[in-house]
Chain A
Amino acid sequence: NAGVTQTPKFRVLKTGQSMTLLCAQDMNHEYMYWYRQDPGMGLRLIHYSVGEGTTAKGEVPDGYNVSRLKKQNFLLGLESAAPSQTSVYFCASSSSGTGYGANVLTFGAGSRLTVL
């Protein structure tokens, strides 16, 4: 009954360092998303995927890369971390895409990233 699992839950980086956030879902969902949550700004979409091997840019993609080599995993990478990327990152998955009432997102518990 895991749903969506994110690792790590917390991470502190120095400016310029790189890291990867891992998202894994066990619900056989086609769609996966990475959001960032910042105070007063709600959730903003970074990148998303509509199926294995596909990725697409969201609202705030700059400075991030993603990969979906396996259907159950969606990786978010920061190649050269900047203080502006300090945020809480959420992964989510859904069985259908936007425009359908079934597009209910299942979220992970979030990953708090601090870039010094």
Chain B
Amino acid sequence: AQTVTQSQPEMSVQEAETVTLSCTYDTSENNYYLFWYKQPPSRQMILVIRQEAYKQQNATENRFSVNFQKAAKSFSLKISDSQLGDTAMYFCALDDYKLSFGAGTTVTVRA
């Protein structure tokens, strides 16, 4: 069974609209970290946002925000006011003393 599951292989969104990417995970740890990484067509992966499990408040980075639901083991990423530069593959990752990545969701922003 996968530790990190991204159930949406591909998503498409109109420029300036909002898109939400889902991620669920499995861990027996009480304290852990969750990440969203972005991989644009250039292939260079960069960190988008990070969440610490013991923090109730959802992390936000400019147009990117997460909905972290610890009991449900869910960590979705919301991209607001989508821009063409947001076109990329997005990976959800869990660090519970072992770093695991989901299979990725390809997001295409349409002009």
Contacts and interface: CB of A to CB of B under 8 A. Distances in A.
Interface in A42-70: 42-45
Contacts, number: 50
12 contacts: A41-B103, A42-B101, A42-B104, A98-B99, A99-B97, A103-B33, A103-B99, A104-B50, A105-B99, A107-B44, A107-B46, A109-B43
Contacts of A99: 32, 95-97
Chain A contact residues: over half helix, strand or loop, or mixed? loop
Interface size class of B (residues with CB under 8 A): 20 to 34
B104 A110 contact: no
Interface residues of A, number: 20
A90 interface: yes
A99 B47 CA distance: 17
B42 interface: yes
Contacts of B52: 101
A109 B6 CA distance: 23
Contacts of B37: 105
Nearest to A99: B97
Nearest to B29: A99
Interface in A18-48: 40-45
Interface string B82-110: 00000000010001111101111000000
